[in-house]
Structure 1
Amino acid sequence: MKLSIISALFTLAFVLLSNESDAQLTNVKKSVLAPLNKNPGSFKVVGNSGIAAMHIVVTSPTKIVIIDKVEKNPIKQKDGRVAVSVEYDIPTNKKRVLNLNTNTFCSAGAFLGNGTLVHTGGAEAIAKDKFDEGFESLRIFEPCDDGSCDWFENPKGLTSKRWYPTMTTLSDGRVLILGGSKKPLGKSTEKDNNPTVEFFPSESPQPEPFPFLKETLPFNLYPAVHVLPGPADQKFLFVFSNTDSIVWDWGKKSIVKRLPRLPGPPRLYPLSGTSVMLPLRPEENYAAQILMCGGVAKHDANEPADDSCGRINLSNLETANWEVENFGGIRRNMPDAVILADGKTLFLNGAGKGFSGYNSDKGKKQAAEDPVLTPVLYDHRAPKGKRFTRLANSKIPRLYHSVATLIPDGRVFVAGSNPNSDVRTSNTKYVTEYRVEMYSPPYLQLGFKRPTIVSVANNNVLNKGAIEVNYNKAVPVTVSISDPNAVFSAALVHYGFVTHSVHMSQRYVVCSVQNVTNLSNGFYSMNVIMPPNGNMIVPGRNYLYINNKNVPGTTAVEVMLS
């Protein structure tokens, strides 16, 4: 009898604890579909990527470098081998083939503080196509505007093999390379896990251990990493893996704080959600808030995607906790999160069911279904429950290996989708997608006049090379606009490196605007105050936006922040 009572009490306690931990999710599941935005934006097909767009990175005001893996893309390198990388020209939608010798499958990238792009990792050699192994590769790209730049490769540039690693630019201008697997697989295993971290330029011939990536097996590939704002000498990173997160000191190589577990499913590959650090604002003392959205609970093609987001404010690590909210009423795995020019976050691409991975049975059996064609817009300053609105639909399914990024003119470049193990343009439900779309966000439908930046830091030759600006300094800016009632705001944006729903190093920082002066004839001068240090936004290539009533100017200007 006593055992029966004890057993019953134990069961009751377990149920109560379970109900308490799931209470936030229960409330989320009762939420309704987000309302349609009054200005839903629009999609337009503008070009052809030439190769499957597995990875993308904006390298200059007019160029995007696209990187695929080794597969049967229709265009070729100079030596006749299949093209793996191209430079895409935004104004003309033309492509220039770049040359690579190593397999870039599921790799990572970040910029050094001097503006050089570093790209690492990859997969096995493809002998039939004459490509070398890419696991330990380190590749360098110096952006240019004259068509002369190309990849430099060191096939043994890393200290260990990395497939699905994450990279981020650090406040000192170096890059960090974290985690990955020693070989391609459906999900991480203890045998092939690479729970280590290294830096470039390297400070050690051996990688440093990172035990957190052992603790969070098997869903620890492409971990979410964000540099945390703080004093110049702070060296804190937010790192998320599976359902857990930590604050890690990259100087001391130690955990500063273990954060509460995020309710809901794992959010990393192959149950892929996405993360974004919400815009930092000086009037909020650059308070760091992380938003994690989407994913799926099971490695199962029939499993419905998750419809929740978790948001955590890290301004006080002792009290930081996750707030769970509905993901706009739409289930979504494999989303992309793009911070727009007005500081709102666009979520697009992905599937309503299934996981990240290739189809099987010659394209007949899909890993993911129910393409989510409806983007949602997240306004992080709105009250909870009113932050999401729905936007205009795309007509193109964007599933596994889809990408999106903000570009300087305020539109969003959208490309990719290839849930096939090799290029397949027929005889499957979801073909290899080469069409490139531009999405015009709601702010381009408001009808407000758009400023044109005329000079930055006394330079009137713009976007012909990054303009040098310094942290914590007032930068003089002149704009022209035919709006006598203009209301100016400014932001620095780092677009980051995009692949697999991970936007590495993406950042948006609001800049104070001071001393606005009407110079007559539609010209205005102002001082834009740069962020205080590299923990607010990384040194190197960033883009300065001047907005009018939250509508971005005709183009942002590339600056080199140091």
Structure 2
Amino acid sequence: MQSITGKVTFLEKSGTGPPNSTGAYELDLDALDNWSLAWKQMSVRTDIFCSASVILPDVAGRQLNVGGWSGESTEGVRLYTPDGSPRVQGPNDWQEDVDILKLQDGRWYPSVMTMANGSILVVGGEEGSNGAAVPSLEVLPFTGTPPLYMDWLERTDPNNLYPYLFVLPSGGIFVSYWNEARILDEKTFETIRILPNIPGAINDPYGGRTYPLEGTAVLLPQRAPYTENLGVLMCGGSTEGVSNALDNCHGVAGFGLATDPNLNALLYDPRKPAGKRITVMANTTIPRLYHSEAITLLDGRVLISGSDPQDGVHDQEYRVEVFNPPYLHKNLPRPTFTLANIDWAYDETISFTLGSAATNGRIEVSLLGSVASTHGNSMGARTLFPEVQCSGRSCTVVSPPDAHVCPPGWYQFFVLDGGIPAVGVYVRIGGDPARLGEWPEGPFTRPGMEFPGNN
């Protein structure tokens, strides 16, 4: 995941990676000419293998990681406060004390999500190390309510790990698991509506998308005035048993199944007609299989890392690479801008200034939710195109209207000139309604509620 400082956090299973692995690192992309400066080595106390993460909406943009491999690590609740600056490493490290702060139910392969009210929802998982199902959900910070049992999580075990979670613009929570999906009430978590089953393969309707069947899901962009239905794209996955990649959207992560790895990047454009939305782009020479991830960087590139297929054919992959999307190959000038206000309320008009008037075409603005990515599950991902107007170099953007269209949190803010993006910055939208900045008690950093820019 990328910190609001612009640096990138890597979490791995401590002790099983490179020699002397501590399980946590931070990469400074501005210091790639100096290896020791570029990589900050941090540590976690318990094993975060196959845990879940999200970036909190507090003023510090703290990173939250929960769950883990076995024993007390499955109960782990870990926090990191990003610090430092380009080419300067800060002293902060991950904080954890399972005797003071922990999950109520230990979980391996759970999902987490920031809800519209700013609290953190934790869903599903197993007891650890291929143990029994944990068919429940719970909320952080702890409200006094014990974990809530969900029969649909128990019934579909073990094909429902890392379920896909999204806040809906109309209210409620979309959750998808195995080949099913439903909408939950955001206060009671009771089922409001059961959705049709998700198509599997042509010859096997019971294929699934969530781990261990290994697909992925992403929200399609929302555009002002946000009146269109929200689209959820699910791709990849496999059948049970023989584990064939689904033939309506090919691809499976390849745990022990790493034949014919796909080396090409694909572009999906929802604005094109159905059947013509995917374009094949450039290829890599590095197979990216199980335990590989990708995130969008502030400079518009895509960082790709990892691969651990456990197949005896492909090695565990430690190389990191970046993909340069087509908009960086058009030889057109990238816009620049200045933005003073990075702490936005809902439905607020914010001013920013272009470095020069538009030269490539129409000015647009995009907002990408801050992402923590694992196992094809990009927790926090969301794309919005808000209303923007410009007169010469002076522009205004209208922030999203509410916490259902745009859950509270940190978003990458990009200005685009004819589709060419400027280098982005992080903005916070919707504040910290659950007052996470004052949580938790004990020996943890609490950034409080006051945004530094408002002092």
TM range (shorter): 0.7 to 0.9
State the Cα deviation string for residues 90-121 of structure 1 (Å, max 9, x = none).
22232101121101010001122212221100
Q: Does 1:123 align with 2:69?
A: yes
Question: 2 CA distance for matches of 1:98 and 1:406?
Answer: 23
Q: Does 1:510 align with 2:385?
A: yes
What amino acid is the match of 1:479? Answer: L
Is the contact made by 1:70 and 1:104 (CA closer than 8 Å) also made in structure 2?
A: yes
What amino acid is the match of 1:111? Answer: I
What amino acid is the match of 2:9? Answer: V
In the TM superposition, what is the alpha-carbon distance from 1:456 to its structure 2 partner? 3.4
Is the contact made by 1:244 and 1:259 (CA closer than 8 Å) also made in structure 2?
A: yes
Is the contact made by 1:405 and 1:495 (CA closer than 8 Å) also made in structure 2?
A: no
What amino acid is the match of 1:289? Answer: G
Q: Does 1:266 align with 2:208?
A: yes
Alignment correspondent of 1:557 = 425
3-state DSSP of counterpart to 2:75: coil
Alignment correspondent of 1:53 = none
Match of 1:494 among 356, 366, 369: 369
Is the contact made by 1:374 and 1:391 (CA closer than 8 Å) also made in structure 2?
A: yes
What amino acid is the match of 1:137? Answer: G
3-state DSSP of counterpart to 1:456: coil
3-state DSSP of counterpart to 2:328: helix
1:209-224 to 2 correspondences below 5 Å: 209-224=149-164
Match of 2:73 among 128, 134, 153: 134
Is the contact made by 1:113 and 1:172 (CA closer than 8 Å) also made in structure 2?
A: no
Q: TM-score, normalised by structure 1?
A: 0.70
Question: 1 CA distance for matches of 2:5 and 2:361?
Answer: 25
Question: 1 CA distance for matches of 2:197 and 2:98?
Answer: 38
Question: 2 CA distance for matches of 1:68 and 1:136?
Answer: 17
Q: Does 1:88 align with 2:46?
A: no
Question: 2 CA distance for matches of 1:448 and 1:143?
Answer: 34
Q: Does 1:380 align with 2:380?
A: no
Is the contact made by 2:348 and 2:398 (CA closer than 8 Å) also made in structure 1?
A: yes
What amino acid is the match of 1:60? Answer: I
Question: 1 CA distance for matches of 2:228 and 2:54?
Answer: 23
Percent of aligned pairs with the same amino acid: 32
What amino acid is the match of 1:169? Answer: T
Q: Does 1:332 align with 2:244?
A: no
Alignment correspondent of 2:245 = 305
Alignment correspondent of 1:410 = 300
In the TM superposition, what is the alpha-carbon distance from 1:485 to its structure 2 partner? 5.5
In the TM superposition, what is the alpha-carbon distance from 1:147 to its structure 2 partner? 1.4
State the Cα deviation string for residues 437-483 of structure 1 (Å, max 9, x = none).
010011111233211122333xxxxxxxxx21211001101111475
Q: Structure 2 vs 1, CA of residues 485 and 387 (structure 1 numbering), >3 Å: closer, same or farther?
A: closer
Q: Structure 2 vs 1, CA of residues 74 and 216 (structure 1 numbering), >3 Å: closer, same or farther?
A: closer
State the Cα deviation string for residues 237-262 of structure 1 (Å, max 9, x = none).
11001101000012022111100011
State the Cα deviation string for residues 486-508 of structure 1 (Å, max 9, x = none).
41000111131100011112001
For the pair shown, the structure with the greater C-alpha radius of gyration is 1
What amino acid is the match of 1:509? Answer: L
3-state DSSP of counterpart to 2:74: coil
Is the contact made by 1:450 and 1:481 (CA closer than 8 Å) also made in structure 2?
A: no
Is the contact made by 1:62 and 1:91 (CA closer than 8 Å) also made in structure 2?
A: no
Which stretches in structure 1 are left out of the alignment for 5+ residues? 1-56, 77-81, 126-132, 309-326, 335-354, 357-365, 422-427, 458-466, 519-523
Alignment correspondent of 1:39 = none
Alignment correspondent of 2:444 = none
Is the contact made by 1:112 and 1:174 (CA closer than 8 Å) also made in structure 2?
A: no
Q: Does 1:170 align with 2:115?
A: yes
State the Cα deviation string for residues 136-164 of structure 1 (Å, max 9, x = none).
01001111125122111132510011000
1:13-32 to 2 correspondences below 5 Å: none
Is the contact made by 1:111 and 1:175 (CA closer than 8 Å) also made in structure 2?
A: no
3-state DSSP of counterpart to 1:368: coil
Q: Structure 2 vs 1, CA of residues 262 and 485 (structure 1 numbering), >3 Å: closer, same or farther?
A: closer
3-state DSSP of counterpart to 1:503: strand
3-state DSSP of counterpart to 1:134: helix
In the TM superposition, what is the alpha-carbon distance from 1:541 to its structure 2 partner? 1.5
* Higher deviation after alignment, 192-201 or 210-219: 210-219
In the TM superposition, what is the alpha-carbon distance from 1:283 to its structure 2 partner? 3.8
Match of 1:287 among 229, 237, 250: 229
Q: Structure 2 vs 1, CA of residues 448 and 178 (structure 1 numbering), >3 Å: closer, same or farther?
A: same
In the TM superposition, what is the alpha-carbon distance from 1:205 to its structure 2 partner? 5.3
Q: Does 1:144 align with 2:144?
A: no
Question: 2 CA distance for matches of 1:559 and 1:372?
Answer: 35
Which stretches in structure 2 are left out of the alignment for 5+ residues? 33-37, 201-206, 431-455
Is the contact made by 2:226 and 2:405 (CA closer than 8 Å) also made in structure 1?
A: no
In the TM superposition, what is the alpha-carbon distance from 1:299 to its structure 2 partner? 4.0
Q: Structure 2 vs 1, CA of residues 286 and 533 (structure 1 numbering), >3 Å: closer, same or farther?
A: farther
Q: Structure 2 vs 1, CA of residues 150 and 247 (structure 1 numbering), >3 Å: closer, same or farther?
A: same
Alignment correspondent of 2:103 = 158
Question: 2 CA distance for matches of 1:407 and 1:534?
Answer: 24
Is the contact made by 1:371 and 1:397 (CA closer than 8 Å) also made in structure 2?
A: yes
What amino acid is the match of 1:388? Answer: I
1:235-246 to 2 correspondences below 5 Å: 236-246=172-182
In the TM superposition, what is the alpha-carbon distance from 1:513 to its structure 2 partner? 0.5
Alignment correspondent of 2:329 = 445
Question: 1 CA distance for matches of 2:400 and 2:177?
Answer: 29
Question: 1 CA distance for matches of 2:405 and 2:6?
Answer: 25
Question: 2 CA distance for matches of 1:266 and 1:200?
Answer: 29
- Equivalenced residue count is 411
Question: 2 CA distance for matches of 1:488 and 1:503?
Answer: 28
Q: Does 1:197 align with 2:142?
A: no
Question: 2 CA distance for matches of 1:529 and 1:286?
Answer: 18
State the Cα deviation string for residues 523-552 of structure 1 (Å, max 9, x = none).
x11001100112112212211110011111
State the Cα deviation string for residues 148-187 of structure 1 (Å, max 9, x = none).
22111132510011000000111122111000000222xx
3-state DSSP of counterpart to 1:96: strand
In the TM superposition, what is the alpha-carbon distance from 1:281 to its structure 2 partner? 1.0
Alignment correspondent of 2:218 = 276
Alignment correspondent of 2:436 = none
Is the contact made by 1:159 and 1:205 (CA closer than 8 Å) also made in structure 2?
A: no
State the Cα deviation string for residues 9-68 of structure 1 (Å, max 9, x = none).
xxxxxxxxxxxxxxxxxxxxxxxxxxxxxxxxxxxxxxxxxxxxxxxx111242111000
Q: Structure 2 vs 1, CA of residues 472 and 137 (structure 1 numbering), >3 Å: closer, same or farther?
A: same
Is the contact made by 2:5 and 2:82 (CA closer than 8 Å) also made in structure 1?
A: no
